[in-house]
Structure 1
Amino acid sequence: MVKPTEHDSESIAVPESVMDSVNTTLSNLHELRSHFEQFLPLMNPQILSQIPPLQRAHSLFLLSKITSTLLALKLRCTGVQPDNHSVKSEFDRLDIYQDKLERLLDLNKAPLRPSTTLNYRAATRFIEHSLPDLTPWWVVILVYYF
């Protein structure tokens, strides 16, 4: 944590709220580092080949999202707005891939086959109109076995 010295508190060049934000960001970065160190070995190609494709895509997306967020943070700390930087196109591309990945994850949660029900009245009308020579008795038998 960054603590102001006694000399700094006399001049108060940096407001206390800013210092609190800096300290919070610093602790978050330390926490991110510990999680990132656990996550990074999972990006080994041998381990990735054992993961199902959708989870592999999600893992690789998270890695790229972490990297781009850290780059944006670095740019902001150096006084450069990421929106005005050439890396903005990469951020936009990541947003597109995030939308695609979310759609695929939603599709993955859907049932394998949508449930269907038969509308007997519509089936009867279809059969009657497609085979006009049928008597009502045959229509009943076809609908029953349909």
Structure 2
Amino acid sequence: MILIAPTEDTETCFALRREVFVAEQGYSAEGEVDALDAKSHHLLAMDDSTPVGTARVYIEGNTAKIGRVCIVSARRGVGLGADLINAAVALAADQGAERVVLGAQAQAVGFYGKLGFKPYGDIYKDEGEPHQMMERLL
């Protein structure tokens, strides 16, 4: 059974992000951990003692920004990503957020749309990859 919960174990979250974003997807390691990490809430998905996914939630005013969402490749396609996003939205609501935003990789816009997010703004590049800002009102 997979448990998703807030964590203080940021090193495990960072290791998952390096595995998915840097090693697998080719993003630069320099920008993977940034100043927002110290100000964010972190979620960790665990399958027994094995970390399988993470996300961070940064709250500013009444808006929460979900970011650095990743699932290890062996666990994709089984609904864990949706569970992780729903846990992040619930955390944001618990913190008093009225709006949740995220920068979706272009190929994931449909996935986030099914979870109640709507696109806004222009498509932009993040390390060469097209992204779309999306929001969900709480």
Same fold (TM over 0.5): no
Is the helix fraction higher in 1 or 2? 1
Higher relative contact order (CA 8 A, sep 6+): 2
TM-score (norm 2): 0.26
